[in-house]
Amino acid sequence: QRRERNISSHVRNRLPEDAVGLLREAGNLAQELGWDAYAVGGFVRDILLGRPNLDIDLVVEGDGIAFASALVERLGGRIKAHKKFKTAVCILDDGRRVDVATARLEYYQYPAALPTVELSSIKMDLYRRDFTMNALALRLNPGKFGQLVDFFGAERDIKNKQIRVLHSLSFVEDPTRILRAVRFEQRFGFRIGGQTMRLVKNALQLNLFEKLSGSRITHELRLVMDEENPLNVVERMNDLGLLKAIHPLLKLTHERVRVLQELEKVFNWYKLLYLDDQADCWKLYFLGLTMGTKREELSKVADRLNFSRREERELLALRDQIGDALMRLMGWQEGKTPLSRLYSILTPIPLEGVLFLMARSRKESIRRNISQYLARLRYVSIDVSGDDLIEMGIPEGPVFTLILDKILAARVDGNVGSREEQLAMALRLKKQFKSEWMNPV
Ligand code: ATP
């Protein structure tokens, strides 16, 4: 008989009180309904690792959807159910979310004369998962609350910092698990275990990635890009031959590594400062990973990854804009080139492009000025409008934009201040450009 360690003191000490309350509530409810409920997966792993994680995944040996309905009735909230998968998401009134899945009792018919066995359904549920460390369950029913259910030696693997699959066909079943292994390895400072590493190599030799759909690869790659240190993951993928298995053009070069390193810094800096204005970081890393490729080559990689036509077009356009801006920034001279020049180069470019330029530039002064653009310049506005110009007797037309742009540039360079000063400048420009609207070409 397997002994189950009780980790309820970890549960109490490492989770916020309201999360513990929710787990207890779920356990009590399951007991009343005559079922067993467990917290499972990454949530349990992270309790053992002492890392904060509030994505609660529950498995119920019973009817998951009925359980979820009863839970939100008790706690306040609503559910979204997927009948086909017998799963539900509880969205509580206070904003918390809890995923609930159903574990079914399954019967295994052994060959020949051996008897049919009934396997505990939680065991089957856990057996379908990716790695031992993600195949832990925590009992929630009262009396057993906090007991760790560990069928596959997960605690030992976590202690030894090892990533291990549950069976030798795991990567054949789902090759994206290889990408997950590398991602978890770098996130937790773990190592893929010896036998599991042999299975990785074997899977690569069998070209299992070729059969994998672009969308599934892209989904996993995006999760990589969302990690705190994606470059470590990308480098390990490169060393293991995973990048080139996805597409031969995705190999790391010195220059790509340099830019990816800078991107990581720039991106983390940006995230910290501008929490509410987020950039699509995967686009940046994708551009970094494919830097130096030809247009058609980039399209081929985008096709392999099943990007939509629109996404591909946007990426190509972004790359062109970045290339164009790099050319225009070449003659930059610190202290001499006016900031309004930088402003006019950067304003047409989406945020991702600006961040990429910052990472890509080797000149310290350009990086500093781009950061000034992001912090301040991009918010500069003027207090003169088209109506003001009409009042001055300037007819609507191209001259309008010209004058407003000039005032904006002067604001960016700090050469003009109050609305009065701006209006005076408009008057001066009116005289200067008069001949142009009087004699249009
Ligand atoms: P994270 O901290 O990145 O959210 P997680 O372990 O919670 O990590 P999810 O991607 O949210 O990961 O998946 C939840 C659980 O589902 C995992 O813990 C794992 O047990 C299981 N799982 C996810 N993807 C797979 C897969 N490809 N094959 C098998 N099991 C998987």
Q: Looking at ligand 1, which atom is closest to the CA of residue 46? A: 2
CA of residue 85 to ligand 1 center, whole Å: 16
Specify whether the CB–CB gap between 128 and 121 falls below 8 A. Answer: no
Domain 161-246 CATH assignment equals 1.10.110.30: yes
What is the distance of C-alpha 17 from the center of its chain? 28
Q: Looking at ligand 1, which atom is closest to the CA of residue 41? A: 18
CA of residue 226 to ligand 1 center, whole Å: 15
In the chain, the N- to C-terminal Cα span, in Å, equals 93
Q: Could you tell me where the DSSP H helices lie in 148-304?
A: 154-159, 170-173, 176-188, 194-205, 214-225, 230-239, 242-246, 254-273, 281-289, 295-304
Do you know the residue count of the chain? Answer: 441
HSE-up (13 A, CA, CB side) for residue 26: 28
- Nearest protein Cα to ligand 1, atom 11: 42
HSE-up (13 A, CA, CB side) for residue 83: 0
Cβ count near 59 (within 10 Å): 25
Q: For the chain, which residues make up each domain, given as ranges?
A: 8-157, 161-246, 267-379, 386-438
Rounded distance between C-alpha atoms, residue 51 and residue 42, angstroms? 10
Parts of the chain with a pLDDT under 50: none
Please write the tens of the pLDDT for every residue from 125-138: 999 999 999 999 99
Quick one: pLDDT at residue 113?
A: 60
Please write the tens of the pLDDT for every residue from 216-252: 999 999 999 989 889 999 999 999 999 999 999 999 9
Please write the tens of the pLDDT for every residue from 318-376: 999 999 998 888 887 877 888 899 999 999 999 999 999 999 988 888 888 899 899 88
Q: Could you tell me where the DSSP H helices lie in 15-169?
A: 17-33, 42-49, 64-75, 121-127, 154-159
CA of residue 284 to ligand 1 center, whole Å: 25
Quick one: pLDDT at residue 116?
A: 58
CA of residue 223 to ligand 1 center, whole Å: 11
CATH superfamily, domain 8-157, is Beta Polymerase, domain 2 (3.30.460.10)
Please list every protein residue whose CB sits less than 6 Å from any atom of ligand 1. 41-42, 55, 129-130, 134, 174, 176-177
- Nearest protein Cα to ligand 1, atom 6: 42
Rounded distance between C-alpha atoms, residue 360 and residue 354, angstroms? 10
- Whether 8-157 and 161-246 share one fold: the answer is no
ipTM value of the model?
Answer: 0.97
Q: CA gyration radius for the chain?
A: 29
- Nearest protein Cα to ligand 1, atom 2: 42
